[in-house]
C-alpha cells in the first residue's frame, strides 16, 4: 500500500473557471468599453477588444469542451446587457438565444452555470444617461434582469448580480482608468450606492420570479498590509479597508451604507444567498501628508513578496484565507471563490500560485468556513480591460493566437485539470508540477510532531 498526502475537498465542490462577456466575446461596438477603447491612450498600445476570443461567433463551444476535458463541473460567465437590450426597451431575441445556447452547452457537458448579470460594461444608451451616476439606471437594470431571468431562469440556479462594484466605481470614477475616466470622490460614492440599489433590485426581481434561485454578487477584496509605525498609518488602512472591502458587504446585511455618511437602503437588507470572493493582490497602505487629493492615503506595492506586473500589488496567495475569514464570519453565507488567478506572461508562476491558493481554500474549509466552489480566473487569455492584450496581463489556462484563434493549453491547465478530477490537491501533483513547494507542503516522510505532556496538575 502506498500512503501519500492529499488535501481533499468536500463532495459536490464546484470547480471551474470564470469569464466575462466583453473579455471573450468580441464583435461588440455597442457598450461603454468599446467606445472608450477608441480613444488613444486608454488601452495598452491603443488596442481594442476586437474579436477577443471570438465567443460571439461560436468559439465558446470548443472552449467549453476544453473546460469539460479538464474536469470542470461548473463555469461562471456573464451576459452582455448591450447585446440583450441594444436600445432602450428593445430586446434582442438573437442575443437571448445565444446565452440560452451557452447554458445548454454547459449543461450538456456536466457544468453548472453561474451567470453574472453585470460585469463592468453598460450599453451605450445607459452611458448616455450618465451610467450608474443616474438612479434611473437602477430601474433600467432591474428591467433587464427581470427579462433575462424570465427567459433563462428555468435553466439557471445561480445568479451573480454585479461583478466587483467597488472596482467599477473606483477605477471609473476615482482613478480614471476605466470609462468614463473621472476622478471625483463624490461620484465614486454615488456610483457604488446606485450599484448597491441595483443589486437589491435584481435580488428581489430574481427571487420574485424564481424563489428557489440562489443570488449573490462577486466582491473583489484586497489584502492590506499596514505600514509602520502602526499608530500613524492605522487610520488610513482602516479607511481603505472599510470603504473598499467592507462597506458594500455590510450594507447588504444591514440595509445601511456607510461611506461619508450613513444612507438607509432598507431594500438592500438581507439580499445575499451567497457571497463571491474575487482575490488577487496585497497592497501596503499608509498615511501620506503629500497626497491630499487621495485623502492622504497612499497605497503601493510592498517591497517584499512576489510582485505582479507594474500598476498592481504584491502577489500573496495566502491572503485568500484572510479574506474568506472576514467574509465568512461577517456574512455567515455560503462562499464561492468567484475569481482567483495570476497575471503571468509565461505560466512560470501560475502553477505555484495555484497550489498555494487552493491550499488556502482547503485550509479555510477545514476551519469550517462554508466555501462551496472555486472559479479560476480564467479559461483562455483574453482582453484585460485597460491592459488590453499586454502579455504581462495574461491570466488564462490556455493561450490564444489572436490571428488564428488557435488555443494552446498551459502547464497550469493540466495541473488544474488534475485537481478538478481528483477533487483534491495531492502531494504527488505538487511534486510533479511545483517540486520546489513539495518539501514545505508535504514532507516525504510524514512527520508526527512530538507534543510535550503538560506539567502534572495539582
For residue 123, the minimal CB distance to ligand IFM (Å) is 18
- Shorter beta-carbon distance to ligand IFM: residue 9 or 36: 36
The closest alpha carbon to 298, from 221, 220, 235, 219, belongs to 235
Residues 264-323 that bind ligand IFM (CB under 6 A): 278
- Shorter beta-carbon distance to ligand IFM: residue 286 or 340: 340
- Shorter beta-carbon distance to ligand IFM: residue 274 or 442: 274
For residue 384, the minimal CB distance to ligand IFM (Å) is 5
Cell of 311: 500598476
Residue whose beta carbon is closest to ligand IFM: 20
Cis-peptide, bond into residue 229, ω within 30° of zero: yes
Among 159, 203, 217, 377, binds ligand IFM (CB under 6 A): 377
- As a dihedral over the C-alpha atoms of residue 88, residue 92, residue 93, residue 97, rounded to 10 degrees, the angle is -120
Whether the Cβ atoms of residue 161 and residue 198 lie closer than 8 Å to each other: yes
Q: Looking at residue 211, what DSSP letter applies?
A: T
- Residues 6 or more apart whose Cβ sits within 8 Å of residue 452: none
Query: Using CA atoms, how far apart are residues 156 and 189, in angstroms rounded to an integer?
Result: 32
- Shorter beta-carbon distance to ligand IFM: residue 392 or 414: 392
- Shorter beta-carbon distance to ligand IFM: residue 48 or 227: 48
Binding pattern to ligand IFM, positions 208-247, x when CB under 6 A?
Answer: ----------------------------------------
Alpha carbon 76 to chain centroid, angstroms: 10
For residue 395, the minimal CB distance to ligand IFM (Å) is 6
Residues 388-447 that bind ligand IFM (CB under 6 A): 395
Applying CB under 6 A, what is the total number of residues that bind ligand IFM? 8
Alpha carbon 311 to chain centroid, angstroms: 18
Distances, alpha carbon 198 to alpha carbons 180, 202, 271, in Å? 19, 6, 11
- Shorter beta-carbon distance to ligand IFM: residue 141 or 393: 393
Residues 158-197 that bind ligand IFM (CB under 6 A): 164
Exposure class string for 266-300: b at 16+ Cβ within 10 A, else e: eebeebbbbbbbbbbbbbbbbbbeeeeeeeebbbe
- Shorter beta-carbon distance to ligand IFM: residue 227 or 350: 350
For residue 312, the minimal CB distance to ligand IFM (Å) is 8
Helix (H) or strand (E) run with residue 18 in it: strand 14-18
Whether the Cβ atoms of residue 407 and residue 391 lie closer than 8 Å to each other: no
- Shorter beta-carbon distance to ligand IFM: residue 193 or 339: 339
For residue 430, the minimal CB distance to ligand IFM (Å) is 25
Q: Looking at residue 242, what DSSP letter applies?
A: I
The closest alpha carbon to 109, from 367, 420, 320, belongs to 420
- Shorter beta-carbon distance to ligand IFM: residue 52 or 265: 52
For residue 278, the minimal CB distance to ligand IFM (Å) is 5
For residue 121, the minimal CB distance to ligand IFM (Å) is 10
Binding pattern to ligand IFM, positions 323-362, x when CB under 6 A?
Answer: ----------------x-----------------------
For residue 440, the minimal CB distance to ligand IFM (Å) is 27
Q: How many other C-beta atoms can be found within 10 angstroms of the C-beta atom of residue 42?
A: 21
The closest alpha carbon to 338, from 188, 115, 87, 189, belongs to 115
For residue 21, the minimal CB distance to ligand IFM (Å) is 10
For residue 149, the minimal CB distance to ligand IFM (Å) is 22
Distances, alpha carbon 6 to alpha carbons 155, 314, 432, 443, 453, in Å? 35, 28, 14, 12, 29
- Shorter beta-carbon distance to ligand IFM: residue 7 or 167: 167
For residue 387, the minimal CB distance to ligand IFM (Å) is 8
- Residues 6 or more apart whose Cβ sits within 8 Å of residue 234: 226
Whether the Cβ atoms of residue 15 and residue 354 lie closer than 8 Å to each other: no
The closest alpha carbon to 350, from 342, 340, 358, 361, belongs to 342
Angle between helices 247-254 and 319-331 (to 10 degrees): 20
- Shorter beta-carbon distance to ligand IFM: residue 286 or 388: 388
- Shorter beta-carbon distance to ligand IFM: residue 255 or 391: 391
What values do phi and psi take at 392, rounded to 5?
-70, -15
Rg (CA), the chain: 22
For residue 67, the minimal CB distance to ligand IFM (Å) is 17
Residue 122 as a binder of ligand IFM (CB under 6 A): the answer is no
Residues 9-38 that bind ligand IFM (CB under 6 A): 20, 23
Among 353, 384, 394, 429, binds ligand IFM (CB under 6 A): 384
Binding site for ligand IFM (CB under 6 A): 20, 23, 164, 278, 339, 377, 384, 395
Amino acid at each position: 500500500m502506498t500512503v501519500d498526502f492529499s488535501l481533499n475537498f468536500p463532495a459536490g465542490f464546484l470547480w471551474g473557471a470564470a469569464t466575462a462577456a466583453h473579455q471573450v466575446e468580441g464583435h461588440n461596438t455597442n457598450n461603454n468599453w468599446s467606445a472608450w477603447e477608441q480613444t488613444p491612450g486608454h488601452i495598452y498600445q491603443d488596442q481594442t477588444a476586437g474579436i477577443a476570443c471570438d465567443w460571439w461567433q461560436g468559439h465558446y463551444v470548443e472552449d467549453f469542451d476544453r473546460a469539460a476535458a479538464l474536469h470542470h463541473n461548473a463555469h461562471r460567465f456573464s451576459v452582455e446587457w448591450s447585446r440583450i437590450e441594444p436600445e432602450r426597451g428593445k430586446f434582442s431575441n438573437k442575443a437571448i438565444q445565444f446565452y440560452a445556447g451557452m447554458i445548454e452547452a454547459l449543461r450538456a457537458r456536466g457544468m453548472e452555470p453561474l451567470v453574472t448579470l453585470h460585469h463592468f460594461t453598460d450599453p451605450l444608451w445607459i452611458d448616455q444617461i450618465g451610467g450608474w451616476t443616474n438612479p434611473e439606471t437602477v430601474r433600467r437594470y432591474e428591467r433587464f434582469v427581470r427579462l433575462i431571468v424570465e427567459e433563462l431562469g428555468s435553466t439557471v440556479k445561480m445568479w451573480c448580480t454585479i461583478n466587483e462594484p467597488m472596482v467599477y466605481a473606483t477605477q471609473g470614477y476615482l482613478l480614471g482608468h476605466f470609462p468614463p475616466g473621472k476622478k471625483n470622490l463624490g461620484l465614486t460614492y454615488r456610483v457604488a450606492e446606485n450599484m448597491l440599489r441595483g443589486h437589491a433590485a435584481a435580488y428581489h426581481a430574481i427571487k420574485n420570479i424564481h424563489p428557489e434561485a440562489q443570488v449573490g454578487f462577486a466582491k473583489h477584496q484586497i489584502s492590506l498590509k499596514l505600514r509602520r509605525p502602526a499608530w500613524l498609518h492605522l487610520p488610513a488602512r482602516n479607511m481603505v479597508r472599510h470603504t473598499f472591502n467592507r462597506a458594500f458587504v455590510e450594507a447588504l446585511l444591514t440595509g445601511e451604507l456607510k461611506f461619508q455618511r450613513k444612507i438607509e437602503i432598507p431594500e438592500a437588507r438581507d439580499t445575499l444567498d451567497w457571497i463571491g470572493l474575487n482575490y488577487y493582490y496585497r497592497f501596503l497602505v499608509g498615511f501620506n501628508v503629500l497626497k491630499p487629493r487621495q485623502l492622504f492615503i497612499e497605497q503601493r506595492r510592498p517591497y517584499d513578496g512576489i510582485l505582479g506586473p507594474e500598476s498592481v500589488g504584491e502577489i500573496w496567495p495566502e491572503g485568500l484565507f484572510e479574506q474568506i475569514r472576514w467574509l465568512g464570519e461577517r456574512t455567515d453565507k455560503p462562499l464561492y471563490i468567484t475569481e482567483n488567478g495570476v497575471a503571468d506572461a509565461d505560466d512560470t508562476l501560475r502553477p505555484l500560485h495555484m497550489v498555494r491558493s487552493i491550499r488556502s481554500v482547503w485550509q479555510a474549509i477545514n476551519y469550517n468556513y462554508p466555501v462551496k466552489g472555486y472559479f479560476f480566473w480564467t479559461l483562455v487569455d483574453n482582453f484585460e480591460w485597460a491592459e488590453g492584450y499586454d502579455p504581462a496581463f495574461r491570466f488564462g489556462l490556455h493561450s490564444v493566437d489572436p490571428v488564428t484563434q488557435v488555443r494552446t493549453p498551459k502547464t497550469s491547465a493540466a495541473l488544474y485539470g488534475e485537481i478538478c478530477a481528483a477533487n483534491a490537491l495531492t502531494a504527488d501533483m505538487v511534486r510533479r508540477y511545483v517540486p520546489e513547494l513539495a518539501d514545505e507542503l508535504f514532507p516525504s516522510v510524514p512527520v508526527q510532531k512530538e507534543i510535550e505532556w503538560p506539567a502534572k496538575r495539582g
